[in-house]
């Protein structure tokens, strides 16, 4: 369901994760973006390049570290990230709408336990 809705917005899961992380942090190095989006460094490079080609992010050299690239959302990227956040709310409502707050909290706690190594 989520991937289909993201595809309607023209992004894949990796791109969504990067846009979402940048919407929260404003500007990140590619390394930090990979950590925030839980992506492999090669996937970050490919994903950032694809987003940059579509005008959703921009890259600039970090003035404090010559080899590092800083990634930030463009104005189009900010609008896209907002639309995607709204899409996520719709998905959450559809998937979890029948659960009580307590049931949602329990489910989240269990999922966090499963996700931890």
pTM: 0.84
Residues of 55-67 as b/e, b for ≥16 C-beta within 10 angstroms?
A: ebbbeeeeeeeee
Per-residue pLDDT reduced to its tens digit, 42-91? 999 999 999 999 999 999 998 888 789 999 999 999 999 999 999 888 88
Q: What is the pLDDT of residue 117?
A: 61
What average pLDDT does this structure show over 16-36? 95
What was the pLDDT predicted at 66? 78
Domain 2-115 in CATH 1.10.10.10? The answer is yes
Q: What does the pLDDT read at residue 57?
A: 98
Listing DSSP states for 59-109 in one string gives EEEETTEEEEEEEEE-HHHHHHHHHHHHHHHHHHHHHHTTS-HHHHHHHHH
CA 21 – CA 36 distance, rounded (Å)? 6
pLDDT averaged over the chain? 92
Over the range 24-44, which residues count as b (16 or more CB within 10 Å of their CB) and which as e? eeeebbbebbbebbebeeeeb
| pLDDT value at residue 91 | 85
Between 51 and 101, the higher pLDDT residue: 51
CB neighbours (10 Å) of residue 5?
A: 16
């Amino acid at each position: 369901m989520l991937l289909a809705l993201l595809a309607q917005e023209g992004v894949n899961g990796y791109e969504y994760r990067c846009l979402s992380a940048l919407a929260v942090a404003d500007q990140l190095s590619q390394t930090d973006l990979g950590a925030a989006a839980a992506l492999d460094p090669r996937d970050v490079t490919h994903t950032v390049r694809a987003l940059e080609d579509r005008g959703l992010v921009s890259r600039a050299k970090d003035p404090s570290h010559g080899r590092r690239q800083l990634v930030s959302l463009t104005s189009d990227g900010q609008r896209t990230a907002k639309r995607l956040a709204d899409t996520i709310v719709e998905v959450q409502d559809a998937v979890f709408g029948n659960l009580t707050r307590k049931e949602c909290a329990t489910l989240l706690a269990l999922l966090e336990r499963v996700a931890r190594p």
